[in-house]
Amino acid sequence: MSVAAACSLSRKGQLLQPPVKAMRRGSREPGGEEAEAAVAAADWDGEVTLGSERRRREPQQQQQPQQEVQQQPPLAMTVSGRDEEEEEKLEREHFRRIINAFRYYGINMHERVNRAERQFRTLPANQQKLLPQFLPHLDQIRKCIDHNQGILQIIVNDCTNMFENKEYGDDGNGKISPASTFDMDKLKSTLKQFVRDWSETGKPERDSCYQPIINEIVKNFPKDRWDLSKVNILVPGAGLGRLAWEIAMLGYTCQGNEWSLFMLFSSNFVLNRCSETNSYKLYPWIHQFSNNRRSADQIQPVYFPDVDPHSLPPDANFSMTAGDFQEIYAECNIWDCIATCFFIDTAHNVIDYIDTIWKILKPGGIWINLGPLLYHFENLANELSIELSYEDIKSVMLQYGFHIEVEHESVLTTYTVNELSMMKYYYECVMFVVRKPENSI
Ligand SMILES: C[S@@+](CC[C@H](N)C(=O)[O-])C[C@H]1O[C@@H](n2cnc3c(N)ncnc32)[C@H](O)[C@@H]1O
């Protein structure tokens, strides 16, 4: 399958450039007004749809410990009565803000390493002498930073082409401004997501998180009873797209959905631009100055992609949409299966997610979920965050009418784990398969 490079940006639902397969408009955003999602699309024999993601904050990216949580600085939010022009302006600003963050990475990281050097140099000479490798190690980290920055630059260059509308691309002045700590953390998390989704190193993690979901899909939609190309599967919160890609590889029609531009820029690069196996490398662990057994662990490279993303079968139907899952997917009874992995805790209100999933699933369709409940908005002031226990979520699902078919309360997984680190986080995830009954309306 040829993965088409074309990707285009829409303004207020007006596509500027083919090829595009889908346009969707948003629905109500929690806490906001009824808003139309400006949506754009890009295609890799499918489409990327971009637009409304700016409306919501990028939640704390990941399922990492609370001490890493950063307070989000004020940023563009949906405002009641905002006109079209204002909306476009905010979208453009957000787009540029994320591009700027990609470019600021090197400056930010060099500052970090310079600080380490300055502090080392404050030590008494006799102590410095004990560690002749310390400063050379920092120099090695500097090289790794420059390498990572090179990859990020390629990703960003690609995005300015990808989203054809120049206004959304580079503002042309080439200036790099300081990015927020929050955005820098998001970017560093995105680098780790490359490991999870597209490296050989991430395989054990994918086996624990994605494989149980894939097994359920295969079990529920076996190829001797289904025309797989007619089974529509949606993966909301698709990250860098590997789970959705794997599902499409099996012959199902699969669409990933994602609203973080950090993720979308990066997944566009992997899915549309990378083809040679392990042809790129990143240094995803250089940001970690603690819990390294050996200094060399910090500068371990990770190669990607471990598979050729273009190797989908010629008739595969794989697409990605960009935007808020709840805004984009409003059409009822469309999906045979919705697969959520480490996703439902990204909700301000998980009941809204359940509601959307219930509506858009076909009667008889299934929802497969695997993940923890580390609510992304829990520690963000002024953000709605309804933190339900799994027990409560289950009760809500049952009241909607879902039938529980599979339930495991303790599936051991990791999320973008650094195997070499002296500190690792494990999740005892909940996994369930629930069905919307055939006779439901
Ligand atoms: C914890 S990550 C999981 C990514 C991927 N499913 C995995 O397991 O690696 C959650 C993802 O959901 C995305 N996300 C959060 N809220 C979303 C929304 N309302 N619509 C679409 N994507 C969303 C985030 O940007 C993030 O990439």
pLDDT tens profile 347-364: 999 999 999 999 999 999
CB-ligand 1 contact for 284 (6 Å cutoff): no
Ligand 1 mutation pick, 343, 360, 369, max ligand atoms within 8 A of CB: 343
Is 40 within 8 Å of 29 (Cβ atoms)? no
Please, which contacts does 394-401 make with residues 24 or more away whose CB atoms are closer than 8 Å? 394/432, 396/350, 396/351, 396/354, 397/354, 397/434, 400/354, 400/355, 400/358, 401/358, 401/436, 401/437, 401/440
Ligand 1 mean position to 238 CA, how many Å? 6
Ligand 1 mean position to 279 CA, how many Å? 26
- Least confidently predicted of 19-23, 297-301, 369-373, 393-397: 19-23
pLDDT at 262: 97
Q: Which tens digit of pLDDT belongs to each residue from 60-89?
A: 434 444 333 233 332 222 334 557 888 888
Nearest ligand 1 atom to alpha carbon 237 = 12
- Least confidently predicted of 104-108, 155-159, 184-188, 220-224: 155-159
pLDDT at 78: 31
Nearest ligand 1 atom to alpha carbon 193 = 9
User: Which tokens sit at 40?
Assistant: 């754009």
Ligand 1 mean position to 53 CA, how many Å? 11
CB-ligand 1 contact for 325 (6 Å cutoff): yes
Residue 270, sorted as left (phi over 0), alpha (psi -120 to 50) or beta, turns out to be: alpha
CB-ligand 1 contact for 372 (6 Å cutoff): no
pLDDT at 169: 55
Instruction: Name the band, by pLDDT with cuts 50, 70 and 90, for residue 297.
Output: very high
- Cα-trace Rg, the chain: 22
Closest residue CA from atom 9 of ligand 1? 239
Please, which contacts does 108-111 make with residues 24 or more away whose CB atoms are closer than 8 Å? 108/178, 108/179, 108/184, 109/145, 109/148, 109/149, 109/286, 109/287, 110/142, 110/145
CB-ligand 1 contact for 402 (6 Å cutoff): no
Q: Which residue has the higher pLDDT, 104 or 35?
A: 104
- Least confidently predicted of 64-73, 134-143, 236-245, 427-436: 64-73
CB-ligand 1 contact for 351 (6 Å cutoff): no
- What are the distances in angstroms from CA 415 to CA 25, 197, 208, 245, 349? 32, 10, 10, 19, 22
What gap in Å lies between CA 244 and CA 242, rounded to an integer? 5
The answer, yes or no, to whether residue 90 has pLDDT greater than 60, is: yes
Q: Which tens digit of pLDDT belongs to each residue from 12-58?
A: 222 222 222 222 222 222 222 222 222 222 333 333 434 333 344 44
The answer, yes or no, to whether residue 373 has pLDDT greater than 80, is: yes
pLDDT at 16: 20
Ligand 1 mean position to 128 CA, how many Å? 45
User: Which tokens sit at 391?
Assistant: 């027990």
Ligand 1 mean position to 383 CA, how many Å? 17
Q: What is the mean pLDDT of residues 256-269?
A: 96
Is 414 within 8 Å of 389 (Cβ atoms)? no
Q: Specify the 3-state DSSP secondary structure of 32.
A: coil
Ligand 1 mean position to 270 CA, how many Å? 17
pLDDT at 171: 58
Q: Which tens digit of pLDDT belongs to each residue from 198-224?
A: 999 999 999 999 999 999 999 999 999
Is 343 within 8 Å of 42 (Cβ atoms)? no
Ligand 1 mean position to 204 CA, how many Å? 20
pLDDT at 13: 23
pLDDT at 84: 80
Ligand 1 mean position to 258 CA, how many Å? 6
pLDDT at 83: 75
The answer, yes or no, to whether residue 284 has pLDDT greater than 80, is: yes
Ligand 1 mean position to 235 CA, how many Å? 9
For the chain, the average pLDDT equals 83
Nearest ligand 1 atom to alpha carbon 324 = 20
What DSSP letter does each residue of 109-173 carry, written as one string? HHHHHHHHHHHHHTS-HHHHHT-TTHHHHHHHHHHHHHHHHHHHHHHHHHHHHHS--GGGS--SS
Q: Is the dihedral of CA 367, 371, 372, 378 positive or negative?
A: negative
Ligand 1 mutation pick, 192, 258, 261, max ligand atoms within 8 A of CB: 258
